[in-house]
Amino acid sequence: MVSRKGSGDMNQNTKRILRIQVNGRWREDAVADNQLLLDYLREQLYLTGTKRGCDGGECGACTVLVDGRPRLACCTFAVAVEGCHVETIESQSQDGRLSPLQQAFHEKLGAQCGFCTPGMVMAAEGLLRRNPHPTEAEIREALGGNLCRCTGYVKIVESVQAACGAEKNADEKMEERA
Amino acid sequence: MQALQTLSIQKPETVAQAIALHRAGESRYLAGGTDLVPNLRRNIQKAQTLIDVSGLAELRGIHAGEQSLRIGAGVTLESLCEDATVRARAPLLAKAASLVAGPTHRICATVGGNLMQDTRCYFYNQSDWWRTTNEYCMKCEGDTCRVAPKSERCYACYSGDLAPALLALGAEADIAGPTGARREPIAALFADDGMRHLKLAPGDLLISIDVPLEAGWTADYEKLRIRGAIDFPLAGIAVALKRDGDRIAGLRVACTGLNSYPGLVSGLDALIGQKPDEAFHAALDKAVRKEIQPMASTLVAAGYRRRVAAGLARRLVERLYAAAA
Ligand SMILES: Cc1cc2nc3c(=O)[nH]c(=O)nc-3n(C[C@H](O)[C@H](O)[C@H](O)COP(=O)(O)OP(=O)(O)OC[C@H]3O[C@@H](n4cnc5c(N)ncnc54)[C@H](O)[C@@H]3O)c2cc1C
Ligand code: SF4
Ligand code: FES
Ligand code: FES
């Protein structure tokens, strides 16, 4: 068995060229084998929207989409998603426009401190792509692994409901404001 | 944040390659990573090499035969929950899988990883700094068990949800390893030892599960947990039952979250052919309590988990018996 000491020396790690699509763009980066997807996104690509909430798999704050499905970036090695498409919260807004989910979280007060919000939005995005008109129970089920310490969840569920019921509305409102 | 231990990741393309890459004491297989990665991050499990088996085609797929269902070890829990054949012919498995962790975990978590997950304990599943202040414990880095300080053994609890369901269904495991392939009953994979709860030899890889489809049986699973949305079982009971008229013609009860291994309750033979009356339930209660040994390895009192386990067994038997009328 490996001793407790000697862990974490990045220089001793095998590095390889990782070919991966992040938010629609293919890229190649030198990545250490022990690099978690979360650290790769936050520390190498500076995509700090994806949050580190717990020390392993318990809070959902690090949820991103891998090939369109939610995945915990803190439980995933970057090299394990080689060749996949990773989407983070930064991919939601387009040309400075909030996505329908972001707009709904903003309007329905689905975010308070905002720490859980990127994970909530990405988990909800994963749900809506599979099931564009989920019931309240389906929304609660899909967000079951995402913890929020502020909102009490009601406003979050309402936000997702608003986003799928009123995708067009959000767009129209944006246009009215513009 | 503590950096992750130094390690390399290998991606074999076949089972044979995966087994050939395995080095005892240095390698671990990596599937969905939802159990292993948090443990590596907390430094409670170590590895120099991870062998990523999530891409192996030989571990995929659910195949229904006349008499049994073959479920690949690499099948994700989400696929298991959603598979039409599983839902129709082995609904117990779909239910148990649906109660594992949260929906995001289940998208990548696998059947193999679920069965082979590490045992758990309040004093073990903690960050390195938490365990430092407690001077660690016998299972990792220390010498004393914090749950039973005079004990020579570790009582960390096996907490997988699929194992009791598979035990109740009489499933078997197909394993490949450096010494060849073999088939074993699920119960033979586990030992009553929180530090060495798996009876697999180094390099053994779970390939698939074979679940017999027995006519006339019904089955169900329930678990006690603090949070309904996402939590390990504090007590989990699976029951498979066959009813003939007003008698119980067959009965298997399996438990999880109560011992260091998932186990079948023994001593139920005397109950076969009986009606589930008060005497039946008193005997069932006794048999379940004899099988289990919950310890203070969780924040929920062991005595309460004991009572719940016996209560769940009774509730499931009553429900299945009534539904089979
Ligand atoms: C917040 C949280 C809640 C959870 N709740 C539950 C719960 O309620 N119930 C529950 O059962 N689990 C729970 N889990 C644990 C875990 O998510 C599941 O057990 C999951 O099914 C593990 O599968 P995996 O593919 O991710 O395994 P991995 O983490 O990849 O592997 C787990 C272990 O199995 C070994 N392994 C994997 N595949 C094979 C194989 N084919 N042959 C031999 N060995 C293999 C690995 O080497 C490793 O030691 C929870 C985890 C978290 C983080
Ligand atoms: S039962 Fe004892 S030895 Fe085992 S993990 Fe818990 S405290 Fe450590
Ligand atoms: S940071 Fe990934 S689940 Fe909490
Ligand atoms: S808004 Fe603060 S944790 Fe959810």
Of A70, A71, A144, the CB nearest to B230: A144
pLDDT tens digits, one per residue of B180-197:
999 999 999 999 999 999
Least CB–CB distance from A123: residue in B3, B37, B104: B104
> Taking Cα atoms as reference points, which of A118, A146, A121, A24 lies closest to residue B101?
A146
**Where are the strands (E) in chain B, listed by range?**
8-10, 27-30, 49-52, 62-64, 68-72, 172-177, 180-185, 205-212, 217-224, 235-244, 247-256, 263-264
Specify the DSSP element, H or E, that contains A29.
strand A25-32
Tell me the C-alpha to C-alpha distance, in Å, between residue B285 and each of B264, B267, B273, B317.
14, 11, 17, 11
A63 lines ligand 4 (CB under 6 A): no
Q: Is the Cβ atom of A19 under 6 angstroms away from ligand 4? A: no
pLDDT at B253 over 90: yes
Looking at A163-172, B93-102, B163-172, B228-237, which range is the least confident one?
Answer: A163-172
Residue B73 — very low, low, confident or very high, per pLDDT cuts 50/70/90?
A: very high
Say yes or no: B192 contacts chain A, CB-CB below 8 A.
no
Stretch A136-165: mean pLDDT: 96
Q: A57 and chain B: CB distance < 8 Å anywhere?
A: yes
CA angle B211, B212, B218 (to 5 degrees): 100
CA-CA distance, A124 to A160, in Å (whole number)?
A: 7
Is pLDDT at A169 greater than 60 in this prediction? no
Q: Which residue of A has its CA nearest to B129?
A: A55
Q: Between B287 and A8, name the one with better pLDDT.
A: B287
Test B9 with A142 for CB contact under 8 angstroms.
Answer: no
Specify the DSSP element, H or E, that contains A72.
Answer: strand A69-72
* B47 Cβ under 8 Å from any chain A Cβ: yes
Instruction: Output the pLDDT for position B2.
Output: 59
Q: Is B38 on the interface with A (CB under 8 A)?
A: yes
Which of A90, A94, A70 minimizes the C-alpha distance to A146? A70
- The 8-class DSSP code of residue B72 comes to E
Closest ligand 2 atom to B148 CA: 2
Q: pTM score, two decimals? A: 0.94
Q: Are B224 and B258 in contact (CB under 8 A)?
A: no
Q: Which of B265, B208, B207 is nearest to B241 (CA)?
A: B265
Q: Which residues of A touch B43 (CB under 8 A)?
A: 4, 7
- Tens of pLDDT, residue by residue over B214-238, are 999 999 999 999 998 899 999 999 9
For residues B94-109, give the mean pLDDT.
98
Mean pLDDT of B151-161: 97
What is the phi/psi pair of residue B101, to 5°? 45, -145
Compute the distance from residue A166 Cα to the ligand 4 centre, in Å.
23
- Enter the CATH code of domain A93-178: 1.10.150.120
Question: Which of A102-106, A172-176, B14-18, B130-134 shows the lowest mean pLDDT across its residues?
Answer: A172-176
Q: Which of A3, A18, A33 to mutate to test the interface with B (most CBs of B within 10 A)?
A: A33
C-beta atoms of B103 and A145 within 8 A = yes
Position A6 confidence tier, pLDDT thresholds 50, 70, 90:
very low
Q: Is the CB of B232 under 6 A from ligand 2?
A: no
Q: Which amino acid is at A32?
A: A
- Fold exhibited by the domain A1-91: Ubiquitin-like (UB roll) (3.10.20)
Which candidate from B2, B37, B141 shows the least CB-CB separation from A75?
A: B37
Helix (H, G, I), strand (E, B) or coil at B4: coil
C-alpha B204/C-alpha B184 separation (Å) is: 12
Which backbone phi and psi does B112 adopt, to 5 degrees? -60, -45
Q: What percentage of residues in chain A have a pLDDT greater than 70? A: 86
Please determine, for residue A8, whether its predicted confidence score (pLDDT) is greater than 80: no
* Chain position carrying tokens 């298991």: B80
Residue A13: list chain B partners with CB under 8 A: 6-8
pLDDT band per the 50, 70, 90 thresholds, residue A174: low
Residue B43, CB-side half-sphere exposure with 13 Å CA sphere = 21
What pLDDT sits at residue B134?
87
Q: What percent of chain B has pLDDT over 90?
A: 96
Whether B127 contacts chain A with CB within 8 A:
yes
Residue to probe by mutation, ligand 4, list A106, A146, A148, most atoms within 8 Å of CB: A148
Q: What is the pLDDT of residue A13?
A: 73
pLDDT value for A32: 96
Question: What pLDDT was estimated at residue B4?
Answer: 86
Chain A residues within an 8 Å CB radius of B37: 36, 56-57, 74-77
- Segment B35-59, tens digit of pLDDT: 999 999 999 999 999 999 999 999 9
Would you call B224 helix, strand, or coil by DSSP?
A: strand
The closest CB to that of B9, out of A12, A63, A77, belongs to A77
Does pLDDT of A11 surpass 50? no
Instruction: Mutation target for B interface from A1, A3, A5, A7: give the one with most B CBs within 10 A.
Output: A7
User: pLDDT band at residue A173, thresholds of 50, 70 and 90?
Assistant: low
List the domains of chain B with CATH numbers: 1-55 (3.30.43.10), 62-116+157-323 (3.30.390.50)
Query: For ligand 2, what atom is nearest to the CA of residue B145?
Result: 2
Asked if B38 and A55 come within 8 Å (Cβ–Cβ), the reply is yes
Among B101, B136, B316, B113, CA closest to B228: B101
* Domain extents in chain A: 1-91, 93-178
Position A5 scores a pLDDT of: 39
> What's the whole-number mean pLDDT along residues A31-51?
97
Residue with tokens 């080095």: B23
CB contact under 8 A, A63 and B48: no
Tell me the three state secondary structure of residue A27: strand
Average pLDDT, chain B: 96
Structure confidence at residue A4 as a pLDDT band (50, 70, 90)? very low
Q: How far is A14 from chain B (nearest CA, A)?
A: 6
Q: What is the mean pLDDT of residues A149-171?
A: 83
Closest residue to atom 4 of ligand 2, CA basis: B154
CA dist B189 and B205 (Å) reads: 12
- What is the predicted ipTM? 0.95
Q: What is the mean pLDDT of residues A131-152?
A: 96
A48 token code pair: 């700090």
Is the Cβ atom of A115 under 6 angstroms away from ligand 4?
yes
Alpha carbons B80 and B82: distance in angstroms, whole number: 6
